[in-house]
Structure 1
Amino acid sequence: MSELNQHSLAALGELADEPVEQTGPMSNFVYVDISSIDRETKKITDPKPLTLSQAPSRAKQILRAGDVLVSMTRPNLNAVALVPEQLDGAIGSTGFHVLRSRWLHPEFLLRLVQSQRFVDEMSGLVQGALYPAVRPKDIAAFTFAFETPAQQTRIVAKLEELLSDLDAGVAELKAAQKKLAQYRQSLLKAAVEGALTAEWRQQHPPTEAGAQLLQRILTERRARWEAKQLAKFQQQGKTPPKDWQKKYPEPVQPDTTNLPELPQGWVWASVEQIASDERYSLSIGPFGSNLKVSDYRDAGVPLVFVRNIRSGNYGGEHTKYVTQEKAVALAAHSVAAGDVLVTKMGEPPGDADVYPDDQPPAVITADCIKIRCWPGLVKPEFLKAVINSHIGKRQIEPMTQGVAQKKVSLGRFISLAVPIPPADEQVLIVQKLIAADREAAEQLAAINLSLKQSTAQRQNILRAAFAGQLVPQDPNDEPASVLLARIRAERAVTPKPRGRKVKERN
């Protein structure tokens, strides 16, 4: 508050015009609610044309061009916007506090409610846990250094100049972010279809083609199953029954419909075929009854959530744990270094990561899938690349089911087709992907740092603007304190308009 001019200190409420009409729509209308606002650009980007019969109960406020809308819900997200000319007469949600004042330039007001001081003060006044919000009187009580209309115009012009340059820089940074994401997908496509190593492949004929590698593993898988069965018969003192080998559970074949043709030496395999024959090498997270929030501890065996897989970050201060005894009970859902983890729910499901070597054994939670690969058949990092590529996404999309949230079952996921290159080619592909990822991560970190600095610079500019430090005062202007005193005197003798009460529609 020390930065503010105490002589011209005003509250938003004392400069507001008459209450906003709350009659709601009388015919088909355009509706503006909180979801209509782009929080990044602070603009109304998604107004919704509705019929009168579709009017939500919150569709009450008649908006005028120049109104500034401030979302009262979750003020920390700062969903604010200026009503443009083309939306004059639109209907606004009662979730907005509408700021309208003949004494405040609309753009000046819009920038004021974007300032960090406004966001911080409103965030400190929220009430409610499930639906945190501020009240209209909280917004109306926000104080700031009042400026004359002429000075406001000069401040707005300077802000437009400075912030336009800043916005242009941010747009370039975000375009670079998008290009990096596109590059990553292009690289994955080239890797899993063989284009990334096409030249190398011509000069290095495989000693064991993908088909031979797969067949060798499948043969070994069956032989190990038969050995276990024979050992079981012997332990039980039984003679193996006739045709007992026919009971071997063949892993599901891959469905390669509409998938690209593979390079020579590669072969398609299903997730089930490439998984280890160890017990629980393919599993999903435990059902809610087996792992509850009450089981969480502050130390012990760490839990892995969907958020960990998506971010690639494990451990840290927000990690939840279970006791060693509980981890033993959840052994079917255990995770070790090198396991491939996949999100089975989300928008969309199917993000994959490899559990890192530097993390201790853990337990996956609900909505996660674990794949432990057969050693020597497919490298975990290559499987991760396949699932995250267009080949994986194309197959997972039709597997999803569920109305509220898309999800993929383990029963469907095991049939997902995975291209298998020769072992030495897999090694090279993974090396190239890791190197490219490292370079992209460095670029992304630099971009994120620049975006963070841009956000800080924006707030520095706004802070200077509303502390009277951005634009010099014109000595020919009437002092803001004198104008403010006159406005207060005028309002003191003018009866306060009363809002029109309207009966709710049934």
Structure 2
Amino acid sequence: MKVSEKPASYINTLDTGRNMGCERLPHETDKKLIKFLPLENVVEIVSGFGFPKALQGKTDGELPFFKVGDISLAWNNGQRGLTKAQHYLDQEEALSIKARPYPKGTVVFAKIGEAIKLNRRAILGQPAIVDNNVMGLIPKEDMANADYLFYWTLTLRLGDISQATTVPSVRKSDVKQLPFPWVPLEQQKRIVAEIEKQFSRLDEAVANLKRVKANLKRYKAAVLKAAVEGKLTEEWRKQHPDVESASKLLKRILVERRQKWEEAELAKMKAKGKLPKDDKWKKKYKEPPKVDASNLPDLPTGWVWTNFEQLAEDIPNALKAGPFGSALKKSFYVPKGYKIYGQEQVIRDDPSYGDYYINEARYKQLESCAVKSGDMLVSLVGTIGRILVLPEDIEPGIINPRLVKMSLDFRIVDPIFIRAYIQSPYVKYLFAIASHGGTMDILNMTILKGIPIPLPPSEEQKMILDEFDRVATIEAELEKASSTNLLRAERLRQSILSKAFSGELTVEDEKGMENKCQTRQ
């Protein structure tokens, strides 16, 4: 099971001009045609209408009523046109609130609040009403093409135009004098066609990049699945039949653990001057429960079913849930001190995230919940079963009530292998059965202790982890190249728009373009 060693070969598809088609962006200029007119000369600038709650909620009707959320939804889905709304009105209802439907082709965007900074816009795909948090630009029929207008608005940074008040806002007076690059309508249409042709090439390159990322994600999932089932190292086992089996290793460690306990107990009795008369005192030792494997799948040779209690490090509080909420109130937080680790760090896979702390006195009260390097933190509420393995040099601290911390015996198992197993479809299925809460999924220590864990021999674990590292290296390389190329794609979009509205994006007829392509090929 291998993946390409050079994923960059798949993602270097956005070099300027080279993969955009057979030609680079045209450099001939047509600036003489452009006249920069005040925006109010080519569009009608309008605002939306208040939307009483009593009229909200209709899922069909004569007139769609679009809100800022509809613009964001379309933008995030890569859609330019607004066609399907979450609210509708009929003509009489629109008249009752004095709302005027705006025509198809109106360009709309948020005009108030933090949504302005998101810089999103859309075009009405049919006559519709917009709410009073939205501004609309209605193109005058003899002056502006709706698509040309839309693409021009993509060159604007609405946040820079807005008034810097407590609540940001864009007013009619802020936009009416913006210089609009007017050209005759037919030229506008040709420029739109050229923009869309160039954008379609960019979209194809970006889609290819996303496909590569999706393929790697599927490959990574396949590696994890094969690893915890033993298929990944099947050939390795055939070549190494004499390694110590996991069952022998586990038995040896558990025997050592019991001997250590007995020695400690004898030392305590001797210190008190009370030597035991028989071995009955040994019955006080609590053996970690064994796994009933009668209904579990067969494991590869050398593997054994185990559980967290057997794998835990032989120290107090090796398996520990976070404190009760009353023991860790927000009123106890301080600016600096001992860090509080919660689900925000686990979900982000970033132990450095967050700035919640407690003082030393509170830390000592909750020291049973303290963490150390190598501990495995498990999320319990909502986003359940996510795992963070704490690296070296972490800030000293404790877990909060939404986490469990597990200190595992490194002689038996590597927590990275356990993390991969917990992410497997089988364990997710077990969690789904056991974790249903009232309003969200919830795990607890009892559920986690009941999860059967397949344990490979130590040497085999090392081979599995080597493959994990290799995939992680490829993933990191791809992610870095992906980010670089996505930024490059966005710069190319802005370059195309800049050329389009400065007269540098000359449009050629199809025959001329075909001849140019053949010549260059």
1:30-65 CA distance string (max 9 Å, x none)? 775526424251446994677989x9xx9x885653
Match of 2:194 in 1: 158
The worse-fitting range, judged by mean Cα deviation, of 324-333 and 14-23 is 14-23
Q: Does structure 2 conserve the Cα–Cα contact (< 8 Å) formed by 1:301 and 1:362?
A: yes
Alignment of 1:31-50 (within 5 A): 34=69, 36-39=73-76, 41-43=78-80, 47=84
Q: Does structure 2 conserve the Cα–Cα contact (< 8 Å) formed by 1:20 and 1:63?
A: no
d(CA) in 2 for partners of 1:263, 1:177 = 32
Alignment of 1:312-331 (within 5 A): 312-315=349-352, 320-331=356-367
Match of 1:265 in 2: 302
Match of 2:14 in 1: none
Match of 2:403 in 1: 368
Match of 1:114 in 2: 154
d(CA) in 2 for partners of 1:437, 1:77 = 32
The AA in structure 1 aligned to 2:107 is V
In the alignment, does 2:117 pair up with 1:76?
yes
Match of 2:225 in 1: 189
Alignment of 1:164-179 (within 5 A): 164-179=200-215
Q: Does structure 2 conserve the Cα–Cα contact (< 8 Å) formed by 1:337 and 1:357?
A: yes
Q: What is the deviation of 1:189?
A: 0.9
d(CA) in 2 for partners of 1:136, 1:311 = 39
The AA in structure 2 aligned to 1:446 is A
The percent of aligned pairs where both chains have the same amino acid is 29
TM-score by length of structure 1 reads 0.74
1:445-495 CA distance string (max 9 Å, x none)? 1112111221232233334444555459xxxxxxxxxxxxxxxxxxxxxxx
Match of 1:284 in 2: 321
Change (3 A) 1:423 1:382: same
Change (3 A) 1:176 1:27: closer
d(CA) in 2 for partners of 1:178, 1:200 = 29
1:186-213 CA distance string (max 9 Å, x none)? 1111111111110000111244322233
d(CA) in 1 for partners of 2:207, 2:37 = 37
d(CA) in 1 for partners of 2:152, 2:293 = 57
The worse-fitting range, judged by mean Cα deviation, of 92-101 and 421-430 is 92-101
Q: Does structure 2 conserve the Cα–Cα contact (< 8 Å) formed by 1:39 and 1:77?
A: no
Q: Secondary structure at the match of 2:377?
A: strand
In the alignment, does 2:341 pair up with 1:309?
no
d(CA) in 2 for partners of 1:321, 1:341 = 18
Match of 1:16 in 2: 45
Q: Does structure 2 conserve the Cα–Cα contact (< 8 Å) formed by 1:262 and 1:419?
A: yes
In the alignment, does 2:503 pair up with 1:462?
no
The AA in structure 2 aligned to 1:331 is E
Match of 1:100 in 2: 138
Q: What is the deviation of 1:425?
A: 0.7
- Give the one of 196, 200, 218 matched to 2:236: 200
The AA in structure 2 aligned to 1:109 is L
The worse-fitting range, judged by mean Cα deviation, of 74-83 and 463-472 is 463-472
Q: Secondary structure at the match of 1:273?
A: helix
Q: Does structure 2 conserve the Cα–Cα contact (< 8 Å) formed by 1:189 and 1:389?
A: yes
1:330-353 CA distance string (max 9 Å, x none)? 32232222112223234x422223
Q: Secondary structure at the match of 2:215?
A: helix
d(CA) in 1 for partners of 2:358, 2:41 = 51
Q: Does structure 2 conserve the Cα–Cα contact (< 8 Å) formed by 1:302 and 1:363?
A: yes
1:255-307 CA distance string (max 9 Å, x none)? 87986542122122222331223122222344444445555555544443434
The worse-fitting range, judged by mean Cα deviation, of 416-425 and 7-16 is 7-16
In the alignment, does 2:384 pair up with 1:344?
no
In the alignment, does 2:312 pair up with 1:275?
yes
d(CA) in 1 for partners of 2:375, 2:461 = 17
In the alignment, does 2:479 pair up with 1:440?
no
d(CA) in 1 for partners of 2:156, 2:312 = 52
Match of 2:441 in 1: 406
d(CA) in 2 for partners of 1:383, 1:165 = 43
Change (3 A) 1:244 1:440: same
1:163-220 CA distance string (max 9 Å, x none)? 2211111111111121121111111111111111100001112443222333333444
Change (3 A) 1:289 1:199: same
Q: Secondary structure at the match of 2:148?
A: helix
Q: Secondary structure at the match of 2:208?
A: helix
Q: What is the deviation of 1:379?
A: 1.0
Match of 1:426 in 2: 461
Alignment of 1:188-267 (within 5 A): 188-228=224-264, 248-251=285-288, 260-267=297-304
Q: Secondary structure at the match of 1:335?
A: coil
Q: Does structure 2 conserve the Cα–Cα contact (< 8 Å) formed by 1:301 and 1:361?
A: yes
Q: What is the deviation of 1:135?
A: 5.8
Q: Does structure 1 conserve the Cα–Cα contact (< 8 Å) formed by 2:346 and 2:377?
A: yes
The AA in structure 1 aligned to 2:139 is S
Change (3 A) 1:173 1:281: same
Match of 1:487 in 2: none
d(CA) in 2 for partners of 1:105, 1:151 = 10
Unaligned runs of 5+ in 1: 473-506
Match of 1:67 in 2: 106
d(CA) in 2 for partners of 1:76, 1:183 = 37
Q: Secondary structure at the match of 2:385?
A: coil
Change (3 A) 1:461 1:365: farther
d(CA) in 1 for partners of 2:224, 2:385 = 15
Q: Does structure 2 conserve the Cα–Cα contact (< 8 Å) formed by 1:12 and 1:139?
A: no
